[in-house]
Structure 1
Amino acid sequence: MAEPFIGPEQGNAATRPVAQMSFEEALAELEAIVQKLERGQLDLESSIRAYERGTALRQHCAEKLRQVQLRVEKLTLERDGTPKLTPFEEQ
């Protein structure tokens, strides 16, 4: 029998607001959701909620990675105007 998806509206501590999660927490929850969806462990309505939550988690992880990349690299221009990525140097 398919189990219901416990989402943030049910108050599960593991599914707190995505914006408050670290990259690692969001990724772990996303992996758990993907496993449940792949195994068919959720009923239809729960699958839809899990998919929506998973989408938000994926976007959150992508944004966290983008922020880290911006901290590690910066875009500079060569003398001829071609773009070049260089390591970020704190000033």
Structure 2
Amino acid sequence: MLRYTLMRLGIFAGCLVVVWGAVYSGIFPRGFGDSNFLWVLLLAMVLSAPISWVVLRKERERAAVQVAGKVDRVKANLEANRTQEDASL
């Protein structure tokens, strides 16, 4: 899960650099007044989301399997504890 998060942050950082360069070179329009930084962040988020969705598909599936395994272990532990409590009553 940490690997997926770091890869997602890396894609966002790359998009942020590209968008920042595009805005300051005049390819993308600048924001109004002092809102330029927020404009650059918004554009970077909008661009990085679909890129992450496509590029990190396998990593996201791998993370989902890990999370599902942890959930199954927790459920099994809760069930074992519940049966022990029922047996003691």
Would you tell me which structure has more helix in proportion to its own residues?
2
Would you tell me which structure has more strand in proportion to its own residues?
1
- Give 1 or 2 for the bigger CA radius of gyration: 2
One fold, TM greater than 0.5?
no
TM-score when normalising by structure 1: 0.32
TM-score when normalising by structure 2: 0.32
Higher relative contact order (CA 8 A, sep 6+): 2
